A and B are shown apart, each in its own frame.
Chain A
Amino acid sequence: MSDRDLDEIRAARRAPGPVQRKAPGATAWFDVRRRGSGHFAFSLNRLTGLGLLVYLYLHLVVLSTLLRGAEAWDSFLRRATTPAFLGLDVLLLFGLLAHGLNGLRVALIGSGVAPDRQKALLWAVVIVGAIALLGGALHIMGSS
């Protein structure tokens, strides 16, 4: 976080009324131009979070196939085990790792457990996430 960012945050907090966002607007959080790595991580967290929420409902729809019996489920399995579908599983794993590990980083910083370790934690997230993604992708694609 730069000194200018901190000055803006402090000024906004001293002002009367609710805290004004740095860049107001419905999708300001999505704009990562001229922002630091922390803002990029925040935007990625929200994008992956929205994607995972869509997946949650998609997952419930797919699991509902089980209610139609063995034939319907095993028919779905034949489609779900194609390389293209397994590629989507790797994308899901990326979303889970990015959102989960970065969310843990945000929780550690925001709760005051490690407030001054933002950069170090970000790098730890990238390294642990990359290793887990590589291992998971090899396992998923290797089984096809």
Chain B
Amino acid sequence: MSSNVETGSGETIPARSGTRAWRATAGTGVVVLVLVTVHMVVHHFVVQEVGGLRTYRQVLAYVGHPLIVVLESTFLVVVTWHGLLGLRSVLFDLGLSEVGKRRASRALAALGVATVAYGLVLIAVLASRS
């Protein structure tokens, strides 16, 4: 795939989009788009309750399925990764110094690990109750 942008006058300019962070954001974004569609449909569009929200017993029965545990865990990891990469990009636009950028990256990585860890514990506890 080319990373150049056609200007319309026959000339191409580098899109400057070939960085690792941009590729990671775009790649995780496509995966999130697929997973969020599945998540929304199975959570809110096939359930016959008001607002498509499951009752407590229905949630436990749903999360108790091994395939759902894998699906929701994958969604949690990828959506957290994608979201914090996006926040990193917004923070970098604040004009941070190189040291500031490194600190922001580390802080967001730590936040991401904590978020995923908490989410996985939440899924595991609920799955064990089913």
Q: Interface on A for B, CB 8 Å cutoff?
A: 1, 6, 9-10, 13, 19, 21, 24, 26, 28-29, 46, 49-50, 52-53, 56-57, 60, 63-64, 66-67, 69-70, 73-74, 77, 80-81, 85-86, 89, 93, 96, 100, 103-104, 106-107, 109-113, 115-116, 139-140, 143-144
- CB-CB under 8 A from B16, the residues of chain A are 13, 19
A66 to B26, CA, bound (A): 33
Query: Does A50 contact B56, Cβ atoms closer than 8 Å?
Result: no
A19 to B3, CA, bound (A): 17
Q: Does B59 contact A (CB under 8 A)?
A: yes
- CB-CB under 8 A from A81, the residues of chain B are 49-51, 53
Contact A104/B126 with A96-B36, A144-B50 known, Cβ cut-off 8 Å: no
Question: How many inter-chain residue pairs (CB < 8 Å) link A and B?
Answer: 123
Query: Does A140 contact B15, Cβ atoms closer than 8 Å?
Result: no
Nearest Cβ in chain B — how far from A28, in angstroms? 8
Count residues of chain B with CB under 8 A from any CB of chain A: 48
Q: Does B110 contact A (CB under 8 A)?
A: no
Q: Interface on B for A, CB 8 Å cutoff?
A: 1-8, 13-17, 22, 26, 29-30, 32-33, 36, 40, 44-45, 49-53, 55-57, 59, 79-80, 83-84, 86-87, 90, 93-95, 115, 118-119, 122, 125-126
Partner of B1, one of A67, A70, A112: A112
A115 to B12, CA, bound (A): 10
Partner of B13, one of A10, A53, A85: A10
Query: Does A29 contact B56, Cβ atoms closer than 8 Å?
Result: no
A89 to B51, CA, bound (A): 9
Contact A67/B122 with A49-B83, A74-B56, A140-B51 known, Cβ cut-off 8 Å: yes
